[in-house]
């Protein structure tokens, strides 16, 4: 695993928790770092890409493996203060 990759396992969490936890994790990352999110909530397939656009980050990948959805997100240059 690269030092630039942070893994976040949100399996079993239901809306709105996956998007809220993803937002919190992204805001704690330095620009250019990558966050890999795995979740099982079907609504995350809509909510997380929307969050990424809203935050100014880059969705580098999205895929399914069974019930799980994996997102790979590169932190953009907009920086927010941690919550």
Domains along the chain with CATH numbers: 5-74 (3.30.110.40)
- Out of 3, 4, 9, 15, the active site residue is 15
- pLDDT at residue 77, as a whole number: 84
Q: How does 68-80 read in b/e, with b if 16+ C-beta sit within 10 Å?
A: ebebebbbeeeee
Per-state percent for the chain, helix, strand, coil, to nearest 5:
30, 35, 40
- pLDDT at residue 68, as a whole number: 98
- pLDDT at residue 79, as a whole number: 55
Q: What is the largest CA-CA distance in the chain?
A: 35
Q: Mark whether 39 is an active-site residue.
A: no
Per-residue pLDDT of the chain in tens (83 residues, 90 and over written 9): 456 899 999 999 999 999 999 999 999 999 999 999 999 999 999 999 999 999 999 999 999 999 999 999 999 986 555 55
Give φ, ψ of 41 to 5 degrees. -75, 120
DSSP secondary structure code for residue 77 in this structure = S
Q: Enter the pTM of the model.
A: 0.88
């Amino acid at each position: 695993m690269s030092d630039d990759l942070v893994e976040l396992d949100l399996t079993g969490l239901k809306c709105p928790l996956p998007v809220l936890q993803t937002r919190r994790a992204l805001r704690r990352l330095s620009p250019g770092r990558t966050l890999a999110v795995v979740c099982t909530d079907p609504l995350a397939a809509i909510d997380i890409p929307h969050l990424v656009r809203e935050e100014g980050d880059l969705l580098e990948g999205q895929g399914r493996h069974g019930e799980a959805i994996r997102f790979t997100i590169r932190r953009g240059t907009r920086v927010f203060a941690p919550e």
